[in-house]
Amino acid sequence: MGAKEDKSPRNYFRLEYPNEVRPRIFIDKNSYPVINLCEGGVKFAIDPRKDDVEAERVHEAVIVFHNSDQTEVIGKVIRSEKDSVVLKLSEGVPLQQIMAEQRFLLNKYGTLRRPLEEK
């Protein structure tokens, strides 16, 4: 028998963002910090005391990056946790933008691994 198969493999490379350079995603006039991002999905932080992103509808959103570049995305909530939401994007971030963000993170931090954050 072979190695255990992952039943939900990720098809895209995810960029993990440190707090100080997180892009913002704007949905329904609200703004949220992006935790991680790929061509087909975005995970963003919410404040569970005041934020509520509807799960059963398609959301049109805009992601604004550190250099003010903007990308329009469309997606549906596939997971909602205590302090974060994940959108699966039907219209996602272009590969060119992902590559530009990857270069930015490599130049700024020398790595694509998320730096350890102080609690």
Domain boundaries, given as residue ranges, for the chain: 15-109
What pLDDT is stored for residue 6 in this prediction? Answer: 42
CATH 1.10.1060.10 at 15-109, yes or no: no
Q: Residues 37-84: pLDDT tens digits?
A: 999 999 999 998 888 888 878 999 999 999 999 999 999 999 999 899
Whether the full predicted model's pTM is greater than 0.85, yes or no, is no
CB–CB of 57/75 below 8 Å?
no
Q: Residues 8-27: pLDDT tens digits?
A: 455 678 899 999 999 999 99
